[in-house]
Amino acid sequence: MIVSGLAALVLYTLSDLLTVPGALPGRDSVNLYVWEIYTRSVLATGALPFWNPFHFAGTPHLADVQTTVLYPPAMLLRWLPPEAFLSWMAALHVWIAGAGTLFLARVVGLSWWAAAAAALAGMLGGSMGAKLHNGYLLLLYCASWLPWALGLAIVSVRRPGVWPHPALVFVLVLQFLAGYIQGSIYLVGAICLYFAFSTIWPEPGLGPNARIRVAAQLVVTAVLSLGVSAFQLFPTARLVAQAARFSGIPYEEAVAEGGWSLPSLVTFFFPFFGIASTPPHRDLAELVSYVGWILMTTIPLAFLSRARRRIAWFFVLLTGIALAIAITDLPIYRLHHALFPGFRYPGRVLFLATVSVAILGALGLERFIELTRERRWVPVTAGLASSVVLIGLATMVATSSVASTSPPAPGWPWLPIASLCGVLIAGVLASRAHLTAAFAIVLALIAIDITLFASDAARPVSVESGDRLQRWMGPPIPGRGISTCENRIGAGEMLRNGQAGLDGLAGIILSDYTDWAHVVTSGNPLPNDGQFHGVDSEGEFPVRRDLLDVANVSVIYSCAPLDAPSLTLVSDVDGVYVYRNQAARPRAFWTCGGRMMTKEAATARILGSRFDPEGRLSPRVYVNIRWAPDLPLERRRTLEERHSLRDGVALDERTWRYTLEDQSVPNVVALMQDAAVEDTHGVDRATGRVAQLPVPPDADAASSGDEMLTGTVPCRASGTIVVTAMDRRDGYFAADVEAPVAGYAFLSEPFYPERKAFVDGQRVSAVHANLAFTAVPVPAGSHRLEMRYVPGSFRIGLAVSMLTLIAWSGVSWLRTRGR
């Protein structure tokens, strides 16, 4: 009955999401929506979606665990339309969290009443509502399995022998498949903490060898979990090894958002403390572990039960570690960053604290009812007195803040007052043996508190219909697309319309691509900050137009007219401008070769040079010109021609970046002295000399690295390539090559180890080229060139998973037969 009641409460709280057609649960769920559309399009063909040609010029899809391709709940609900699928996935996992907390509470020995109180807090408390509001569904999926994992860990430790409970292994696999790697690390850490805690402080009655057995069971659990999840773990690990963020981001970036300070502790009573947004859940995703006033008030009483004191101290330890990581005023997060340099948002660890505090509160609530039933008023008074002191201090801090525009707590001030009064009434009723009435009052107040806290969180977000997108964008254009209007036409819209995109949605992104994209958009050296750098923008055209041309960018979407050479307007519908880029190079072209150098040297060479229409990489000097206000278009174009300013790109309304072909001092001085030029950047205003980018000593070395840079070796012959297959969902690419001499086919296809090259059916070694792309050696003559995605890591992982299950089943059968 309690489980059904939890389901009914979920349906009531999320009714807006579940009843509005064509809406998504939160703005960031758009990424999952687009990935799901692509996943379904491939599954419909009877294949697995290993490769996605529409994002980032091509990227692994199934290997990115965030796409939840093989996540069992997703597989069960894929019969629903994509929008309804995500809403019901969210509702399902909110319920899973509640049912799991109920299970955990029962495992630690709580009554059904107290377990129901914990379940309400674990289901809708903490940042659950904020995750729904912002569409952080992967965080929600992962966090929902935490109480199940903790409960099963407790059950498993109580088992004789070293073999864990099978359900614990499968829950650990499920939470990994849920797609949030950072949360998985935290959840696994919590399970390891319980095993370590049980090794140091074993549960009574487990026998003399309990410590050794628990330690051994942890090892077996880890081996089985890794083995069973290998089918997803291996490809994900392969992708992570090539990814940008996991190489590390600066500490300052990691703590820039989502960190707690010591005053944030008052949010245990006042969850909206310091929040200025409306609704407040917009900024609460990493900032709250609220479980309601009653459960927070009764926590001190949890330690007055000798039988449950051990488990209470474990949840205190887990809460303390989570808070120590989340509070960036403390030094613990620096250690956390050293161990996991790719993780951001310290507050995302707080879902551990939410479940822990909910269980502690339920332990205290049950002990409160027991003590008042026995009329032991002294310990009750002492425990509640400490809570009153904490409430008073929190109230002083919260009410003194003027930063918040929201009430500091749900139903403020009447609900907190009613909750505290309800605790006293429940105590009186329990003292007169009316236990059911006492629990009912408390449970009702907790339900009201938690429901009010989460009631305004879930707000559906609409998405544009496919018909409207097609009307705006028109039919797909061969080649790749970019957008300077990404808030209206971005990578997701391109995928939905069948247009291959140069950019993509933020998932596990290849580090080579994000480095290349940074050079394209800024024209600056690599920042090495581990952050995502994309090509699409809102109103800014990428600086390095030549690199876009080499990458086969054939279509550009904009929300305003573009003034750039070689762009032809295709359509203008409802303010969406579609341009065809006539200067785009083919997806593949032949070159006689290129110099091999380090990535750093290749980057420096690209920054100081430019690809011409024939593919030669020639030295170029870039200057920024800020033109005078209201300069007529014809006047600007006349000055561009007079001063040899080429390939202009607008950086803002008045500032343009150009390549300066005539670098002579008289030309530069005349440019600076022209009345139409307000300011310049890239030239020495005192001497008129052009600033040059520094080039490393090995930039011109012939073979000092494994990065090929095309256009750096003179070619006396010219080959042809006719592409016959590209942008296929299986990652297949094919072309017919006519090579006058031995050379290379440059493909603006991302270099990835599992994308293999074949010439006339024979495997050849592809070369990393132009920072992010691929070059394939081709001998002289006519040849068939192919690129195939070979999911070797998935196949090996699947074999390991099958062997693990077979071995585990065999050992279990032998043990059963032995008994």
SS3 letters for 647-708? EEEECCCCEEEEEECCCCHHHHHHHHHCCCEEEEECECCCCCCECCCCCCCCCCCCECCCEE
Cα R_g (the chain), whole angstroms: 31
Tokens of 465: 């219909």
CB 261 within 8 A of CB 403: no
Range name among 289-298, 486-495, 663-672, 800-809 with the lowest pLDDT average: 663-672
Q: Is the pLDDT of residue 703 over 70?
A: no
Sheet holding 567-573, edge to edge: 480-483, 553-558, 576-581, 567-573
Q: Could you give all domains of the chain from N- to C-terminal order, each with its CATH number?
A: 63-455 (no CATH), 466-585 (no CATH), 596-681 (3.30.70), 715-794 (2.60.40.1180)
Between residues 399 and 783, the one the model is more confident about: 783
Between residues 578 and 621, the one the model is more confident about: 578
- pLDDT at residue 217 in the model: 95
**Residue with token string 């090996």:** 796
Tell me the pLDDT band of 256, cut-offs 50, 70 and 90.
Answer: low
- What's the mean per-residue pLDDT of the chain? 88
| CA–CA distances in Å: residue 9 to residues 13, 98, 119, 420 | 6, 10, 11, 23
What is the per-residue burial (b if ≥16 Cβ within 10 Å, else e) of 791-815? bebbeebbebbeebeeebeeeeeee
pTM tops 0.85, yes or no: yes
Count other Cβ atoms within 10 Å, centred on residue 744.
Answer: 25
CB 514 within 8 A of CB 578: no
Count other Cβ atoms within 10 Å, centred on residue 381.
Answer: 11
- pLDDT at residue 246 in the model: 64
What digits encode the pLDDT tens for the residues 634-655?
888 888 888 888 777 777 778 8
Tell me the pLDDT band of 37, cut-offs 50, 70 and 90.
Answer: very high
CB 361 within 8 A of CB 443: no
- Highest-scoring range by mean pLDDT, 224-238, 539-553, 623-637, 671-685: 224-238
Tokens of 293: 């006033």
Pairwise CA distance, residues 237 & 242, whole Å:
9
List the one residue out of 717, 564, 578 whose CA is nearest residue 651: 564
Between residues 172 and 328, the one the model is more confident about: 172
Taking phi first (over 0 means left), then psi (-120 to 50 degrees means alpha), and beta for anything else, what does residue 126 get?
Answer: left
Pairwise CA distance, residues 162 & 54, whole Å:
47
Contacts of 503 (CB under 8 A, 6+ apart): 55, 56, 482, 483, 486, 490, 491, 517, 534, 535, 536
Q: Measure the CA angle with vertex 778, ends 777 and 781; round to 5°.
A: 165
pLDDT-above-90 percentage for the chain: 53
Using a CB cutoff of 8 Å and minimum separation of 24, what contacts does 717-722 make? 717/592, 717/741, 717/743, 718/590, 719/590, 719/591, 719/743, 719/778, 720/590, 721/586, 721/588, 721/589, 721/590, 721/745, 721/785
Q: Is the pLDDT of residue 771 over 50?
A: yes
Helix (H) or strand (E) holding 384: helix 377-400
Secondary structure of residue 710 in the 3-state scheme: strand
- pLDDT at residue 32 in the model: 93
Q: Is the pLDDT of residue 208 over 80?
A: no
Secondary structure of residue 572 in the 3-state scheme: strand
Phi, psi for 171 (deg, rounded to 5): -70, -40
CB 315 within 8 A of CB 251: no
Within its chain, how far is the Cα of 170 from the centroid? 23
Range name among 125-139, 517-531, 566-580, 790-804 with the lowest pLDDT average: 517-531
Per DSSP, helices labelled H in 489-558 are 491-496, 511-522, 545-550
- pLDDT at residue 402 in the model: 52
CB 328 within 8 A of CB 262: no
- pLDDT at residue 233 in the model: 96
